[in-house]
Structure 1
């Protein structure tokens, strides 16, 4: 019996039109990907229907691209040990990042068939107390949870909002550019969640310097997906994001940031055993470095995390 969750009618329509999904062929597509994954000697993959269908949808149901992305998912995770070694969703350090609201994954999607929205607040933490890589680690856990339980994220993608309020030079000094490039390679090549937009608010003086850190990582497909929203944070997102899903702190009706924090803390704790089990699904050590260099900033069904910004 299939363990695949049925999509809503709205998402079924989007999956057909944008992802080339053929419902009566889906069972066979998953079966073929599963058979291939079970035969691989260089990595051990999760093989639940729900996990594998995320890769098929992320690759618009190209079986060959899905195979490639699934392998690179494990390959690149193996080469990001600072993020994936002993990754535990009940880690007090990560739960504290959620409690502080540094990462705010909104609970409701952007409309019934719309993407999920993240608000990232890099100026809301003390860089002497919290590592930038731990903030990214929180994001990787959220993304992996999406693969299992969030159909909007898998089918309709992700919108990211970067709130740069209170970002200082000290925050920038703590960003390891080499690490960011390495992670961007993972995200670009390995994650089957499509990027649907990137919004900057509260941009500080010297924003160009911050942008130039990430400029070399931009995918050509993403040049038109960046918006620099104007106005205070209470109104800046209203022309772009539904007020019903935004937190009260951003002029919305989607509950408080604290409500969102508590929701995700509970969710992380629910997934404790899942992330302990993750240690079993890995790339074999002898294979992990041999092909990593071949993973360039190419696009295999998703869009990258960073966008080009146009200045007046």
Structure 2
């Protein structure tokens, strides 16, 4: 019970403190739909093995890092994840496996991933969201991925660190863990096409229009928190970006 209360508290605290990442989206904002239509993030229709974890794919190379910020992208991703939590029993019971596909990604995409942002996303994933990451796979990694990976990994719990798998460009290595039939048609699989998945999520955003309008009223007021206030500076005070790293 205490763990559940803690997750609920953390979830709404993060939504209130960092709305640019975790706040409700405006489904009628053209930029929200534009990002959705790039196919940067996909939740696949069939879970792993038919009744296992939900599968999510992040394709960072699909959006323009010159036009959109990573905060805009992740805000949409978090909204999609919220919909999953509301209606997807497989995800709640079995968790989710995530694939990070870096095909066509550039250093401009990497530079958007500041340590502070990655820390916020890690805390949100591990301490706030009732959606257990069962594994995270990375494919088509580019030069510059490794130093970022090595910086982010220690931010994660020991359990989650053991669930990270880097496959480089070896698709056959990935499909040993996730059989190809559970991947989208564009990856040689049978789990929907990117176009079909985007169209389905267009409909979902329409269905949740009123929900996201109402959810803007939900959050926390830190002035009313009993006891010691959360030290956000200490928790997320890692500043700077990966521009300082040697990524050659």
1:201 maps onto 2:145 in alignment: no
Where in structure 2 are there 5+ consecutive unaligned residues? 237-248
Match status 1:154 vs 2:92 = yes
On the 8 A contact 1:74/1:282 being kept in 2, the answer is yes
- Secondary structure of 2:137's counterpart equals strand
Structure 1 residue aligned with 2:206: 269
1:196-235 deviation line (CA, Å, top 9, x unaligned): 00111111234322213413312111232122225455x5
Aligned residues of 1:79 and 1:292 also touching (Cα < 8 A):
no
> Displacement of 1:194 after TM fit?
0.5
Match of 2:50, SS?
coil
Aligned counterparts of 2:130 and 2:72: Cα–Cα separation in 1:
22
Task: Indicate how the Cα distance of structure 1 residues 211 and 74 shifts in structure 2: closer, same or farther if over 3 A, else same.
Answer: same
Structure 1 residues 226 and 184: alpha-carbon distance in aligned structure 2, compared to 1, 3 A threshold: closer
Distance 2:33 2:224 in 1: 33
Shift of 1:244: 3.0
Corresponding residue number in structure 1 for 2:174: 237
What is the TM-score normalised by the length of structure 1?
0.69
SS of 1:189's partner is helix
Residue 86 (structure 1) shift: 5.3
220 and 89 in structure 1: CA distance in 2 versus 1, 3 angstrom threshold: same
2:67 to 129, 134, 159: 129
* Equivalent position SS for 1:155: helix
Matches within 5 A, 1:1-312: 63-85=1-23, 87-229=25-167, 231=169, 233=171, 235=172, 237-287=174-224, 291-293=229-231
Q: 1:119 to 1:80 in 2, by over 3 A?
A: same
- Where 2:39 maps in the other structure, the secondary structure is coil
- Bigger Cα displacement from structure 2, 237-246 vs 140-149: 237-246
CA contact (8 A) 1:118 1:161 kept: yes
State which structure, 1 or 2, has the greater radius of gyration over its C-alpha atoms. Answer: 1
Higher share in helix: 2
Q: RMSD in angstroms over aligned alpha carbons?
A: 2.3
* CA 283–219 in structure 1, closer or farther in 2 if over 3 Å, else same: same
Q: Is the contact between residue 107 and residue 245 of structure 1 (CA under 8 Å) also seen in structure 2?
A: no
Stretches of structure 1 lacking an aligned partner (at least 5 in a row): 1-62, 298-312
CA contact (8 A) 1:80 1:183 kept: no
Alignment: residue pair count: 234
CA distance in 2, matches of 1:237, 1:259: 23
Question: TM-score normalised to the size of structure 2?
Answer: 0.85
